[in-house]
Amino acid sequence: MTTTLITGGTVISATGSALQDVLIDGERIVALLAPGTTPLGPVTADVTIDATGKYVIPGGVDGHTHMEMPFGGTQASDTFETGTRAAAWGGTTTIVDFVVQAHGQRVQDQVALWHEKASGNSAVDYAFHQILGDVNDESLKAMQELIGEGITSFKLFMAYPGVFLSSDGQIVQAMQAGADLGALIMMHAENGSAIDVLVQQALQRGETGPYFHGTSRPWQTEQEATHRAVMLADLTGAPLYIVHVSAKQALARIAEARNAGQNVFGETCPQYLYLSLEEQLGAVSEEWGELEGAKWVCSTPLRSRAEGHQDELWKYIRTGDVTTVSTDHCPFCMKDQKEMGIGNFSKIPNGIGSVEHRMDLLFQGVKDGRISKERWVDVCCTTPARMFGMYGRKGVITPGADADIVIYDPDGHTSLGIGEGREHHMNMDYSAWQGYEIDGHVDVVISRGTVIKDETGYIGGKSHGRFVKRELSQNLI
Ligand code: URP
Ligand code: ZN
Ligand code: ZN
Ligand code: ZN
């Protein structure tokens, strides 16, 4: 087996940073060493990578992606092949994608379909959550089987009536099963029936542009659903993870539940930390006219900068009430996809693509003095691995762990976007991050001991990534 030695870098973990060398044997990390030597003398390895002046961090773990997800009559534009390659470019070496069960579908059929899509087509390792869009006796029974297959978390929707929405009764049933099995219940917390009324009223007023997607999903609809989910989790004893939180009021409710000792966790995404409803309001372009704002249509929606959500979200990342930062990577092109919403924002497929940029965008938070570099590693790598039952293998640089490592240049530079010398690797004809400048750079990406990206670009194989069978969450009280 090939041995690799990474020398001269600063190894950053969730708890601290130190100048250390990292020795890899085959697919695993075997030792962290004082720079230059071991107690037995100088180390030799087949391959040596000089990381002098660089950060050596665990590969990113993105706990929320939607490759090839069917949505609103179309499908997310990244396949496992293109989406995981983009992840690799950006220093993410594990994704957790959502298997989709919509009304009328069988869970096990969908799991088989997702394995078929991902297997042999993934640049980095991948795991699955299960969306339960149809809670019934069969899908409740399937939960236990899936845990045995390494799919240990289940997403429910309080939004999207008629497609994914679960009634409160169904939520209670799934949560009871989650509590019995020790399995994490993930929640899309928006009051879908209230939103549907607000959407119809907006359209009747002639408010048809992309901006009105956001105004018809106000923070109250997110906070109300978050509160209801927290109370139902309290009632049933289920561990609860609220996905893609954007409203500061929802996060305050999550923090309150956590302070009360409940197993409740919050996830946010880069778009809610940087992008805002105000920018969406003014968005017009030569190419897309007033459809320009569709580039940032996602749910939960972007929130008003003036209302102060972003500062609060960063604060909750510092305090730990935001447990993880994932992307909710759900890319659609403008052409033929976002275009479906011309004249009616409710037809715009919901989602933003960021899987390539999460590590960079959160590192900018380090540069801007928002979070420490250790907290960066914690929310992007270590805690997602622990939250989703992969700790010890993923998200840490420690002997025995998979050698998933990123060499990050804290003095480098990355320009996000496409065109004019910029490029991204997601299968999208636009970038939600056009013009963002990052004061850092992903230099080298190693996945299970193999360098898959270096300064020359992506050098990994199409089928390097493997399915990760997950344990139950290791992050519960
Ligand atoms: O807009 C979003 N978030 N699209 C992806 C589906 C979901 O609800 O996570
Ligand atoms: Zn969702
Ligand atoms: Zn999502
Ligand atoms: Zn810069």
Distance between Cα 212 and ligand 2 center (Å)? 19
Q: Which residue has the tokens 């969908």?
A: 110
Q: Which atom of ligand 1 lies at the shortest distance from residue 351's CA?
A: 1
Looking at ligand 1, which residue's alpha carbon is closest to its atom 2? 351
Whether the CB-CB separation of 169 and 190 falls below 8 Å is answered with no
Question: Within this chain, do residues 49 and 85 fall inside the same structural domain, yes or no?
Answer: no
Q: What is the pTM of this model?
A: 0.98
Question: Within this chain, do residues 43 and 64 fall inside the same structural domain, yes or no?
Answer: no
pLDDT for 12 equals: 98
pLDDT for 44 equals: 80
| Cα separations in angstroms, 150 against 20, 108, 145, 181, 252 | 33, 13, 9, 13, 32
Q: Which atom of ligand 1 lies at the shortest distance from residue 188's CA?
A: 8
Q: Best of 296, 328, 348 to mutate for ligand 1, by most ligand atoms within 8 A of CB? A: 328
pLDDT for 106 equals: 97
Distance between Cα 351 and ligand 1 center (Å)? 5
Question: Within this chain, do residues 204 and 305 fall inside the same structural domain, yes or no?
Answer: yes
User: What token pair was written down for 52?
Assistant: 């002098």
Q: Best of 298, 303, 326, 332 to mutate for ligand 1, by most ligand atoms within 8 A of CB? A: 298
Question: Within this chain, do residues 381 and 414 fall inside the same structural domain, yes or no?
Answer: no
Per-residue pLDDT of the chain (477 residues; tens, 9 = 90+): 899 999 999 999 999 999 999 999 999 999 999 887 665 666 789 999 999 999 999 999 999 999 999 999 999 999 999 999 999 999 999 999 999 999 999 999 999 999 999 999 999 999 999 999 999 999 999 999 999 999 999 999 999 998 999 999 999 999 999 999 999 999 999 999 999 999 999 999 999 999 999 999 999 999 999 999 999 999 999 999 999 999 999 999 999 999 999 999 999 999 999 999 999 998 999 999 999 999 999 999 999 999 999 999 999 999 999 999 999 999 999 999 999 999 999 999 999 999 999 999 999 999 999 999 999 999 999 999 999 999 999 999 999 999 999 999 999 999 999 999 999 999 999 999 999 999 999 999 999 999 999 999 999 999 999 999 999 999 999
Question: Within this chain, do residues 190 and 209 fall inside the same structural domain, yes or no?
Answer: yes
Looking at ligand 1, which residue's alpha carbon is closest to its atom 3? 299
Question: Within this chain, do residues 167 and 31 fall inside the same structural domain, yes or no?
Answer: no
For 367, the domain range is 59-387
Rounded Cα distance, 109 and 102, in Å: 11
Beta strands 41-42 and 184-188 are unpaired
Rounded Cα distance, 216 and 200, in Å: 9
Rounded Cα distance, 389 and 406, in Å: 21
Distance between Cα 437 and ligand 4 center (Å)? 6
Amino acid at 471: E
**CATH number of the domain bearing residue 215:** 3.20.20.140
Question: Within this chain, do residues 314 and 202 fall inside the same structural domain, yes or no?
Answer: yes
Q: Provide the ipTM.
A: 0.93
Integer-rounded Cα radius of gyration of the chain: 21
Looking at ligand 1, which residue's alpha carbon is closest to its atom 9? 328
Number of domains, the chain: 2
Ligand 1-lining residues (CB < 6 angstroms): 66, 188, 244, 298-299, 328, 330, 350-351
In a domain, 77, yes or no: yes
User: What token pair was written down for 437?
Assistant: 């400048």
Instruction: Considering every ligand atom shown, identify the ligand nearest to the alpha carbon of residue 412 and give its number.
Output: 4
**CATH number of the domain bearing residue 429:** 2.30.40.10
In a domain, 185, yes or no: yes
Question: Within this chain, do residues 24 and 136 fall inside the same structural domain, yes or no?
Answer: no
